[in-house]
Protein backbone atom coordinates (compact mmCIF):
# COMPACT_ATOMS: atom_id res chain seq x y z
CA UNK A 1 0.00 0.00 0.00
CA UNK A 2 2.79 2.43 0.96
CA UNK A 3 4.72 1.68 -2.26
CA UNK A 4 1.58 2.22 -4.34
CA UNK A 5 0.89 5.56 -2.63
CA UNK A 6 4.47 6.75 -3.14
CA UNK A 7 4.33 5.79 -6.81
CA UNK A 8 1.09 7.74 -7.23
CA UNK A 9 2.60 10.82 -5.53
CA UNK A 10 5.65 10.62 -7.81
CA UNK A 11 3.44 10.46 -10.91
CA UNK A 12 1.35 13.38 -9.67
CA UNK A 13 4.47 15.47 -9.01
CA UNK A 14 5.76 14.84 -12.54
CA UNK A 15 2.42 15.91 -14.01
CA UNK A 16 2.28 19.04 -11.82
CA UNK A 17 5.96 19.93 -11.29
CA UNK A 18 7.24 22.76 -9.16
CA UNK A 19 10.69 23.43 -7.74
CA UNK A 20 11.20 23.11 -4.00
CA UNK A 21 14.55 24.83 -4.53
CA UNK A 22 13.08 27.90 -6.26
CA UNK A 23 10.60 28.12 -3.38
CA UNK A 24 13.48 29.31 -1.17
CA UNK A 25 15.15 31.55 -3.76
CA UNK A 26 13.97 34.87 -2.35
CA UNK A 27 15.06 33.89 1.15
CA UNK A 28 18.56 32.97 -0.09
CA UNK A 29 18.90 36.28 -1.95
CA UNK A 30 17.79 38.21 1.14
CA UNK A 31 20.47 36.51 3.24
CA UNK A 32 23.16 37.36 0.68
CA UNK A 33 21.92 40.95 0.34
CA UNK A 34 21.99 41.36 4.12
CA UNK A 35 25.69 40.46 4.09
CA UNK A 36 26.51 43.12 1.50
CA UNK A 37 28.62 40.62 -0.48
CA UNK A 38 29.81 41.97 -3.85
CA UNK A 39 30.87 38.54 -5.19
CA UNK A 40 28.91 35.29 -4.93
CA UNK A 41 29.68 31.69 -5.81
CA UNK A 42 26.63 29.51 -6.46
CA UNK A 43 27.62 25.83 -6.24
CA UNK A 44 25.47 23.51 -8.32
CA UNK A 45 23.80 26.46 -10.05
CA UNK A 46 21.65 24.35 -12.39
CA UNK A 47 20.14 26.42 -15.20
CA UNK A 48 20.67 29.62 -13.21
CA UNK A 49 17.35 30.45 -11.58
CA UNK A 50 19.03 31.55 -8.35
CA UNK A 51 21.76 33.40 -10.24
CA UNK A 52 19.05 35.37 -12.04
CA UNK A 53 17.94 36.65 -8.63
CA UNK A 54 21.44 37.10 -7.19
CA UNK A 55 22.89 39.17 -10.04
CA UNK A 56 21.15 42.39 -8.98
CA UNK A 57 22.60 45.25 -6.94
CA UNK A 58 25.92 45.20 -8.77
CA UNK A 59 26.96 41.73 -7.61
CA UNK A 60 29.18 39.49 -9.69
CA UNK A 61 28.10 35.85 -9.63
CA UNK A 62 30.04 32.72 -10.50
CA UNK A 63 28.12 29.50 -11.00
CA UNK A 64 29.62 26.01 -10.81
CA UNK A 65 27.59 23.32 -12.57
CA UNK A 66 29.13 19.87 -13.20
CA UNK A 67 26.34 18.47 -15.39
CA UNK A 68 27.31 19.31 -19.00
CA UNK A 69 23.78 19.66 -20.41
CA UNK A 70 22.61 21.84 -17.53
CA UNK A 71 25.77 23.95 -17.64
CA UNK A 72 25.25 24.62 -21.35
CA UNK A 73 21.76 25.95 -20.65
CA UNK A 74 23.11 28.27 -17.94
CA UNK A 75 25.96 29.46 -20.18
CA UNK A 76 23.54 30.32 -22.98
CA UNK A 77 21.20 32.07 -20.56
CA UNK A 78 23.90 34.45 -19.29
CA UNK A 79 26.09 34.68 -22.39
CA UNK A 80 25.56 38.45 -22.67
CA UNK A 81 25.79 39.19 -18.94
CA UNK A 82 29.30 40.28 -17.98
CA UNK A 83 28.47 40.04 -14.27
CA UNK A 84 27.84 36.28 -14.50
CA UNK A 85 30.36 33.51 -15.13
CA UNK A 86 29.29 29.89 -15.52
CA UNK A 87 31.95 27.21 -15.12
CA UNK A 88 31.27 23.60 -16.12
CA UNK A 89 32.94 22.13 -13.03
CA UNK A 90 32.07 20.71 -9.66
CA UNK A 91 33.20 22.40 -6.45
CA UNK A 92 35.92 19.80 -5.98
CA UNK A 93 37.49 20.91 -9.30
CA UNK A 94 37.83 24.57 -8.34
CA UNK A 95 41.05 26.50 -7.86
CA UNK A 96 41.44 26.18 -4.05
CA UNK A 97 43.08 29.62 -3.86
CA UNK A 98 39.93 31.43 -4.98
CA UNK A 99 37.76 33.20 -2.39
CA UNK A 100 34.26 34.70 -2.45
CA UNK A 101 32.37 37.14 -0.24
CA UNK A 102 29.34 34.83 -0.29
CA UNK A 103 28.71 31.22 -1.23
CA UNK A 104 25.30 29.67 -1.88
CA UNK A 105 24.36 26.02 -2.13
CA UNK A 106 20.78 24.99 -2.89
CA UNK A 107 20.17 21.23 -2.84
CA UNK A 108 23.82 20.62 -3.75
CA UNK A 109 25.68 20.06 -0.47
CA UNK A 110 24.40 16.48 -0.16
CA UNK A 111 26.16 15.64 -3.46
CA UNK A 112 29.50 16.23 -1.71
CA UNK A 113 31.24 14.62 1.30
CA UNK A 114 29.80 16.59 4.19
CA UNK A 115 32.57 17.11 6.75
CA UNK A 116 35.39 17.71 4.28
CA UNK A 117 33.25 20.04 2.17
CA UNK A 118 32.21 22.15 5.16
CA UNK A 119 35.87 22.71 5.99
CA UNK A 120 36.69 23.60 2.40
CA UNK A 121 33.71 25.94 2.10
CA UNK A 122 34.89 27.79 5.18
CA UNK A 123 38.27 28.28 3.49
CA UNK A 124 36.60 29.41 0.26
CA UNK A 125 34.93 32.33 2.03
CA UNK A 126 36.67 35.66 2.39
CA UNK A 127 37.05 36.81 6.02
CA UNK A 128 33.67 38.21 7.05
CA UNK A 129 31.97 36.31 4.22
CA UNK A 130 28.65 34.51 4.41
CA UNK A 131 27.54 31.02 3.39
CA UNK A 132 23.86 30.35 2.71
CA UNK A 133 22.60 26.79 2.28
CA UNK A 134 19.26 25.22 1.49
CA UNK A 135 20.02 21.55 1.98
CA UNK A 136 18.37 18.14 1.85
CA UNK A 137 18.46 15.59 4.65
CA UNK A 138 17.55 11.93 5.06
CA UNK A 139 14.36 11.39 7.04
CA UNK A 140 14.94 9.31 10.16
CA UNK A 141 12.66 8.88 13.14
CA UNK A 142 9.19 9.89 14.23
CA UNK A 143 9.53 13.67 13.94
CA UNK A 144 10.80 13.55 10.36
CA UNK A 145 8.09 11.14 9.27
CA UNK A 146 5.34 13.10 11.03
CA UNK A 147 6.43 16.33 9.34
CA UNK A 148 6.63 14.57 5.97
CA UNK A 149 3.06 13.29 6.42
CA UNK A 150 1.87 16.86 6.99
CA UNK A 151 3.89 18.29 4.10
CA UNK A 152 2.85 15.80 1.39
CA UNK A 153 -0.71 17.21 0.97
CA UNK A 154 0.72 20.75 0.90
CA UNK A 155 3.24 19.70 -1.73
CA UNK A 156 0.49 18.25 -3.93
CA UNK A 157 -1.71 21.33 -3.51
CA UNK A 158 1.09 23.74 -4.45
CA UNK A 159 1.88 21.63 -7.51
CA UNK A 160 -1.74 21.81 -8.60
CA UNK A 161 -1.87 25.59 -8.05
CA UNK A 162 1.45 26.35 -9.76
CA UNK A 163 0.97 23.90 -12.63
CA UNK A 164 -2.75 23.14 -12.98
CA UNK A 165 -2.42 21.58 -16.44
CA UNK A 166 -0.71 18.22 -16.72
CA UNK A 167 2.88 18.65 -17.96
CA UNK A 168 4.32 16.71 -20.90
CA UNK A 169 7.85 17.08 -19.55
CA UNK A 170 9.72 18.44 -16.56
CA UNK A 171 11.03 22.03 -16.73
CA UNK A 172 14.72 22.28 -17.67
CA UNK A 173 15.68 23.34 -14.15
CA UNK A 174 14.29 20.05 -12.79
CA UNK A 175 16.16 17.71 -15.15
CA UNK A 176 19.68 17.91 -13.65
CA UNK A 177 20.95 14.71 -11.98
CA UNK A 178 19.75 14.23 -8.41
CA UNK A 179 20.96 12.19 -5.45
CA UNK A 180 19.34 11.01 -2.25
CA UNK A 181 20.79 12.67 0.87
CA UNK A 182 22.91 10.39 3.02
CA UNK A 183 22.89 12.26 6.34
CA UNK A 184 20.06 12.85 8.77
CA UNK A 185 19.37 16.34 10.04
CA UNK A 186 20.90 15.37 13.39
CA UNK A 187 24.11 14.26 11.67
CA UNK A 188 24.22 17.47 9.63
CA UNK A 189 23.76 19.58 12.77
CA UNK A 190 26.66 17.76 14.44
CA UNK A 191 28.99 18.28 11.47
CA UNK A 192 28.03 21.94 11.17
CA UNK A 193 28.62 22.53 14.89
CA UNK A 194 32.11 21.04 14.56
CA UNK A 195 33.24 22.71 11.35
CA UNK A 196 31.19 25.93 11.18
CA UNK A 197 30.86 27.12 14.79
CA UNK A 198 28.19 29.76 15.18
CA UNK A 199 26.23 28.71 12.08
CA UNK A 200 22.43 28.94 12.28
CA UNK A 201 20.63 25.84 11.05
CA UNK A 202 16.85 25.31 10.90
CA UNK A 203 14.48 22.61 9.69
CA UNK A 204 12.37 23.83 6.78
CA UNK A 205 9.36 22.62 4.82
CA UNK A 206 9.58 20.23 1.88
CA UNK A 207 12.39 18.05 3.20
CA UNK A 208 14.84 20.94 3.41
CA UNK A 209 16.92 22.74 6.04
CA UNK A 210 18.54 26.17 5.98
CA UNK A 211 22.02 27.10 7.14
CA UNK A 212 23.63 30.54 7.44
CA UNK A 213 27.26 30.88 8.43
CA UNK A 214 29.21 34.12 8.84
CA UNK A 215 32.96 33.63 8.75
CA UNK A 216 34.73 35.69 11.43
CA UNK A 217 36.92 38.49 10.10
CA UNK A 218 39.94 37.04 11.89
CA UNK A 219 39.10 33.40 11.19
CA UNK A 220 42.12 31.14 10.92
CA UNK A 221 40.92 27.53 10.68
CA UNK A 222 43.56 24.86 11.04
CA UNK A 223 45.33 24.08 7.79
CA UNK A 224 43.93 27.12 5.95
CA UNK A 225 45.64 30.26 4.70
CA UNK A 226 42.41 32.19 4.19
Cα angle 180, 109, 215 (rounded to 5 degrees) comes to 155
| pLDDT tops 60 at residue 225 | no
Three-state DSSP class for residue 204: strand
Mean pLDDT of 34-47: 96
Contacts 24+ apart (CB under 8 A), 119-123: 119/195, 119/221, 119/223, 120/91, 120/96, 121/196, 122/195, 122/196, 122/213, 122/215, 122/219, 122/221, 122/224, 122/226, 123/96, 123/221, 123/224, 123/225, 123/226
- Residue 117 is predicted with a pLDDT of 97
Q: Using CA atoms, how far apart are residues 59 and 28, in angstroms rounded to an integer?
A: 14
> What DSSP line would sit under 130-194, residue for residue?
EEEEEEE-B--SHHHHHHHHHHHHHHHHHHHHH--SPPSS--GGG-S------SBHHHHHHHHHH
User: What pairing do the DSSP bridges indicate for beta strands 100-106 and 84-87?
Assistant: unpaired
pLDDT for 95-105, tens place per residue? 999 999 999 99
- Residue 177 is predicted with a pLDDT of 78
The whole-model pTM stands at 0.86
Contact 129, 100 (CB under 8 A): yes
Mean pLDDT of 189-210: 95
pLDDT for 44-71, tens place per residue? 999 999 999 999 877 899 999 999 999 9
User: What pairing do the DSSP bridges indicate for beta strands 39-43 and 60-64?
Assistant: parallel
Q: Residue length, the chain?
A: 226
> pLDDT band for position 1 (50/70/90)?
very low
Q: Using CA atoms, how far apart are residues 225 and 208, in angstroms rounded to an integer?
A: 32
pLDDT for 100-132, tens place per residue? 999 999 999 999 999 999 999 999 999 999 999
Amino acid sequence: MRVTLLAWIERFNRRHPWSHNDFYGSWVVDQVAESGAPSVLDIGCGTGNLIERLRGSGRSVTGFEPDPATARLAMARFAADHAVTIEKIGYEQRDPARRWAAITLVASLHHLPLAATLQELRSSLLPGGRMVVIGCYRSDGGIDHAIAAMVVPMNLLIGLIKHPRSADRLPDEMTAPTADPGETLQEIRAAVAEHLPGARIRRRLFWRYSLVYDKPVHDRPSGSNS
